[in-house]
Amino acid sequence: MTTSLQTAPRPLANDVGDAHWLPFTAMRQFRSQPMMFVGAEGMYYIAADGRRILDAMAGLWCVNAGHAQPRIVEAIRESAGRLDFVSSFKMSHPGAFELARRLTEVAPEGLDHVFFTNSGSEAVDSALKIARGYHRARGDAGRTKLIGRAKGYHGMGFGGLSVGGIGRHKRDFGPLLPDVAHLSLPYDRSKMGFSRGQPVTGADYADELEALLQVNDPATVAAVIVEPVIGSGGVYPPPTQYLDRLRSICTRHGILLIFDEVITGFGRLGQPFAAQAFGVTPDIITCAKGMTNGAVPMGGVIVSDLVFDAFMAGPPEAIELFHGYTYSGHPLACAAGLAALDTYEELDLFARTAALAPVWEAALHQLKGAPHVVDIRNIGLLGVVELASRPGEPGARGSLCAHSCYEDGVLVRASGDSIVLSPPLIVEEHQIEQIVASIRSGLNSMN
Ligand SMILES: Cc1ncc(COP(=O)(O)O)c(C=O)c1O
């Protein structure tokens, strides 16, 4: 068995076949031009053709401390040899408790309990179920409605898809959950274009929630879920005071507020969570990605005492939450999670991010005035350069620009005609300059 694995042919870059069906990928186009990586270290990927590619996406918004951090690699190795698997159903292992405790130390005050999942999508669907279960546990089972937001991305489970706000993601898969409403995107380019950090106008978009509640009857709403900064939908930082207003409206009506921090968690905004960066505490935080520095799949739902205690009120021998996954709290993921937290601390990565954010902002905004650029948004070490679409060819400029950057040795992500950026938080100033120069050259080279 070992021999056949060792001698199995490795796919060549120009002959990948179609046994592997890739997510969110134009398969037939990919086959004709496969982008393959064979290694990674620090800020760089090693492409199959041997080139070093500067990673301006932290993998997929997840490798916050850079690739192949030795402490994390070693922790995974050690854990694999010591305890490869143990179920979390009615049993556990010390690493899971240790990681949960460490997470609650960095989470906002009062969010003291962690439910482990294996991805952001599972974290979101778990959070939505916990929100409904919370109301039911308190004798308020009529609260089932969920409110999301336009352009929100909450993963690919049916729950996350339903509260998500990107129409194309839903088109082929309905019907989705009933009783879901959406807030609109708090953005108006004519007033907020080229804002640096949070737009100073637009807090009143939050008042839409009050209007929605009047239409939906607030006593039937379980939770509002938002990404504090919209990520995959195009990097939209919230207007100042917008999240505070959502918080107070939710509190007034007994509705749980969920922050989906799958991207913003673990330092992206210079604090452990965006909740702390914005000074707004939700009832539930969902996280994943940077939780293990992307090294092992893992997600989590961090809940407040209020929510947890509501579940703990029944008979002590009864299971309080009929929900979970085979790999919840997997030993390898927990080992990676603990090592990731140690690494973030050791590198003082969150403070470093806060200090570097103004440099990032200034560098990105140098692209104002470059061909096709219609907006630039940034916060922490997140950014987007939005391009005007070619008439009749939406997405063409985005993918041409990303392709040009890749040829130039820089990995950026095109989301439609937006170039989204989220480098590892260890990025150096000269690498920021390289990213911006590469995008500029891509923009200059196309019509
Ligand atoms: C805010 C947010 N929520 C949920 C998810 C889904 O996470 P996963 O892809 O790990 O399921 C993502 C993924 O990008 C995300 O950005």
Closest Cα to atom 8, ligand 1: which residue? 120
CATH 3.90.1150.10 residue window(s) in the chain: 2-65+348-444
Q: How far is the CA of 362 from the centre of ligand 1 (A)?
A: 28
DSSP string, 219-265: GGEEEEEE-SSB-TTT-BPPPTTHHHHHHHHHHHHT-EEEEE-TTTT
Ligand 1 mean position to 122 CA, how many Å? 9
Q: Are the CB atoms for 162 and 180 separated by under 8 Å?
A: yes
Determine the distance separating the centroid of ligand 1 and the alpha carbon of 314, expressed in angstroms: 33
Pocket-testing residue among 61, 232, 420, ligand 1, by greatest number of atoms within 8 A of Cβ? 232
410's tokens: 């820089």
The closest residue, in CA terms, to atom 1 on ligand 1 is 262
> How many percent of the chain have pLDDT more than 90?
95
Q: What is the pLDDT of residue 138?
A: 97
Residue 77: what pLDDT? 98
Strand partners, 284: 258, 303
Give the nearest ligand 1 atom to 261 CA: 1
Which two tokens mark 373?
Answer: 């650029």
Identify which of 62, 116, 124 to mutate to test ligand 1's pocket (most ligand atoms within 8 A of the CB): 124
Task: Tell me: pLDDT of 5 over 90.
Answer: no
pLDDT at residue 14 in the model: 57
Distance 288 CA to ligand 1 centre (A): 7
pLDDT (tens digit per residue) in 56-108: 999 999 999 999 999 999 999 999 999 999 999 999 999 999 999 999 999 99
Query: CA 423 to CA 67: how far, in whole Å?
Result: 11
Backbone angles phi, psi at 70, to 5 degrees: -55, -40
Q: Which pLDDT band, with edges at 50, 70 and 90, does 17 fall under?
A: confident
CA of 155 to the centre of ligand 1 (A): 5
Nearest CA owner, ligand 1 atom 3: 154
The confidence band for 391, taking pLDDT boundaries of 50, 70 and 90, is: very high
- DSSP E strand boundaries for 102-239: 111-117, 145-149, 180-183, 221-226
Average pLDDT over residues 213-236: 97
Task: State the distance between the two ends of the chain, measured CA to CA, in whole angstroms.
Answer: 54
72-346 under CATH 3.40.50.300, yes or no:
no
pLDDT, tens digit (0-9, with 9 covering 90-100), for 237-277: 999 999 999 999 999 999 999 999 999 999 999 999 999 99
Q: Count CA atoms closer than 13 A to 117's CA, side-chain side.
A: 22
To test the pocket of ligand 1, the residue of 156, 263, 269 to mutate (highest count of ligand atoms within 8 Å of its CB) is: 263
- Rounded to the nearest angstrom, the distance between the alpha carbon of 101 and the centre of ligand 1 is 23
Closest ligand 1 atom to Cα of 122? 11
Number of H helices, E strands in the chain: 17, 15
CB atoms within 10 A of CB 343: 20
Q: Using pLDDT thresholds of 50, 70 and 90, give the confidence band for residue 46.
A: very high
State residue 33's pLDDT score: 86
- pLDDT interval class at 12 (50, 70, 90): low
Q: Which of ligand 1's atoms lies nearest the C-alpha of 124?
A: 4
User: Smallest Cα–Cα separation from 402: which of 391, 394, 388, 413?
Assistant: 413
- Nearest residue by C-alpha to atom 13 in ligand 1: 155
Residue 408 has pLDDT above 50, yes or no: yes
User: What is the phi/psi pair of residue 273, to 5°?
Assistant: -130, 155
**Measured in angstroms, how far is the CA atom of residue 194 from the centroid of ligand 1?**
26
Please name the residue that has the structure tokens 């609650």. 104
Q: How far is the CA of 166 from the centre of ligand 1 (A)?
A: 13
C-alpha 316 – ligand 1 centre gap (Å)? 34
Closest-lying ligand 1 atom to the alpha carbon of residue 227: 1
* pLDDT above 50 (res 349): yes
Ligand 1 shell residues, CB under 6 Å? 119-121, 124, 153-155, 227, 231-232, 260, 262-263, 288
Determine the pLDDT at residue 55.
98
The residues of the chain that CATH labels 3.40.640.10 are 72-346
Cβ atoms of 284 and 110 closer than 8 Å: no
- Which residue out of 125, 151, 153 has the highest number of ligand 1 atoms within 8 Å of its CB and is therefore the one to mutate? 153
Say how many Å lie between the CA of residue 446 and the centre of ligand 1.
32
CATH (one of 3.90.1150.10, 1.10.240.10, 3.20.20.220, 2.60.40.420) for 2-65+348-444 = 3.90.1150.10
Is 4 a residue whose pLDDT tops 50? Answer: no
Q: Which atom of ligand 1 is nearest to the CA of 160?
A: 4
Q: How far apart are CA 156 and CA 419, in angstroms?
A: 22
Ligand 1: distance of its center to the CA of 126 in Å? 13
Return d(Cα 238, Cα 232) in angstroms, integer.
Answer: 14
The Å distance, Cα 60 to ligand 1 centre, comes to 9
**What is the pLDDT at residue 331?**
98
The reported pLDDT for the residue numbered 219 is 97
- Give yes or no for a contact between 67 and 46, defined as CB atoms under 8 angstroms apart: no
433 CA distance to ligand 1 middle (Å):
28
- Given the CA of residue 263, which atom of ligand 1 is nearest to it? 16
- Residue 121 CA: nearest ligand 1 atom is 11
Select from 154, 156, 229, 301 the residue to mutate for testing ligand 1; criterion: most ligand atoms less than 8 Å from CB.
154
Q: List phi, psi (to 5°) of 357.
A: -55, -40
